[in-house]
């Protein structure tokens, strides 16, 4: 963080990297995604880590009509549960970017607003940490399709637990 950077969100002062060193969570997350990409929900929705920084990240998921959707009279749409899964992954992962070594993240509360149907294909989740306390992070995310068309907005309280 340089002197010209804006102040971090509240609660971040004690968690900021020192002397420009990359923070543990930012450094560790890409390696974790390599492990996760072959199994579980990350593999199921084809999640890929696109961008990661301290307190913010971008994930991409590929939803198919066969695995994540259902037919409608206007063509197939993606099930809301698949969209919520992508949002939840983004929210827990962005909280991990500000985690201390030895901490992992779990979702304590998730709220999602579905704004419009999503079609099968590539969805992008953009997430940020709004506030961090010793044990919790308050995060928000959007899930977008196409030219930044927001299909869902989500907020979560993410808890830090010792790994």
Domain 13-162 architecture: Roll (3.10)
Which pLDDT does position 148 carry in this prediction?
Answer: 82
* pLDDT tens-digit map of 86-111: 999 999 999 999 999 999 999 999 99
pTM of the model: 0.87
Task: Give the Å distances, CA to CA, from 10 to 92, 127, 140.
Answer: 18, 16, 14
- Residue pair 63/123 in contact by the 8 Å Cβ criterion: yes
Domain coordinates in residue numbering, the chain: 13-162
* pLDDT tens-digit map of 20-76: 468 899 999 999 998 888 888 888 999 999 999 999 999 999 999 999 999 999 999
Q: Tally Cβ neighbours within 10 Å of residue 21.
A: 9
Q: With 50 as the cut, is the pLDDT of residue 4 above it?
A: no
147 confidence band (pLDDT: 50, 70, 90) = confident
Which pLDDT does position 39 carry in this prediction?
Answer: 82
How far is Cα 115 from Cα 87, in angstroms, rounded to an integer? 14
Which pLDDT does position 1 carry in this prediction?
Answer: 41
Contacts of 95 (CB under 8 A, 6+ apart): 105, 129, 132, 137, 139, 156, 158, 160
The residues with which 154 forms a beta bridge, in sequence order, are 112, 141
Q: With 80 as the cut, is the pLDDT of residue 14 above it?
A: no
* pLDDT tens-digit map of 132-146: 999 999 999 999 998
């Amino acid at each position: 963080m340089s002197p010209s950077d804006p102040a971090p969100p509240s609660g971040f002062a004690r968690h900021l990297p020192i002397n420009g060193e990359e923070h543990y969570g930012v450094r560790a997350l890409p390696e974790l995604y390599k492990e996760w990409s072959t199994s579980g929900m990350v593999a199921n929705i084809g999640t890929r880590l696109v961008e990661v920084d301290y307190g913010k990240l971008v994930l991409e998921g590929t939803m198919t009509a066969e695995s994540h959707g259902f037919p409608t009279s206007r063509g197939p749409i993606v099930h809301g549960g698949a969209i919520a899964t992508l949002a939840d992954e983004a929210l827990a992962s962005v909280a991990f970017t500000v985690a201390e070594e030895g901490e992992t993240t779990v979702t304590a509360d998730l709220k999602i607003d579905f704004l419009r149907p999503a079609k099968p294909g590539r969805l992008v989740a953009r997430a940020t940490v709004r506030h961090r306390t010793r044990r919790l992070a308050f995060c928000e995310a959007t899930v977008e399709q196409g030219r930044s068309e927001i299909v869902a907005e989500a907020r979560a309280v993410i808890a830090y637990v010792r790994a």
